[in-house]
Amino acid sequence: MSGFIRPEMARFVRRWAETFAAGVIALVGLRIFWRAYTHYNWMGEAIGGLLMLIGFAAGWAAYRRAQFNHGGDGSVLPPGLIEVTERQISYFTSLGGDTVDIAAMTRLEIRSIPSLGRVWVLKQSEGPTLFIPVGAAGAKNLFDAFSALPGIEQSRLIEAVNTGGEHKRVIWRGDPKFRALT
């Protein structure tokens, strides 16, 4: 039964599932609100309004993450896995891996490298530069991690992932006094 759903459709559903779930929460809130409004029940209106607000807020955040996520499962070469824990981004491959502290990052770029394809380039003040393929498993977690960088624009992140062709594009630069010599 695993071949029942086409792989493209399964990727689409996985990518947008969180957005759909938030929409359902907002619709349930609307239903509760409307039912309470027609029966003059202020407590039901408050609960319904709160559910609508939560659904819309979660839906907006999920929509932004879904735009950033392109469904990388790590099955393309080079395979790899990304983990984001306690303000650290770790990238593991069968050949090794490395970790970057988000607070130590000085620059974030996206590049096209012939041998790797499109990659995120994470430069830090001390330590090696980390190259992470856009299609690596766990790449969807990078959106929230990159959003924690001071002064970064989320729209630039989404635009960088969705547009291609540029050889090198700087998305974010850190504070100059902490910048490494690169």
**pTM for the full predicted model:** 0.62
Task: Flag whether 2 is in a domain.
Answer: no
CA 20 to mean position of chain CA atoms: 16
Which pLDDT does position 95 carry in this prediction? Answer: 77
Q: Kind and range of the H or E element at 127?
A: none
Considering the domain architecture, whether residues 106 and 143 belong to the same structural domain is answered as: yes
Which pLDDT band holds residue 177 (cuts at 50, 70, 90)? Answer: low
- b/e 39-73 (16+ beta carbons within 10 angstroms → b): eeeeebbeebbebbeebeebbebbbbbbbbbeebe
How many domains in the chain? 2
Cα separation, 137 vs 76, in Å, equals 9
94 and 166 assigned to the same domain: yes
Is the same domain home to 122 and 172?
Answer: yes
Domain boundary among the residues 36, 68, 100 is at 68
What is the percent of the chain where pLDDT is above 70? 87
Residues 16 and 49 in one domain: yes
Q: Among 68, 99, 121, where does a domain finish?
A: 68
Mean pLDDT on 94-111: 86
> For 107-159, how does the pLDDT look when each residue is reduced to its tens digit (9 = 90+)?
999 888 877 778 889 998 777 888 888 888 888 888 888 888 888 888 888 88
The helix or strand, by DSSP H or E, that contains position 98, with its residue range, turns out to be strand 96-101
Residues 145 and 105 in one domain: yes
| Same domain, yes or no: 161 and 120 | yes
- Based on the fold, state whether residues 141 and 53 are members of the same structural domain: no
Do 97 and 164 belong together in one domain? Answer: yes
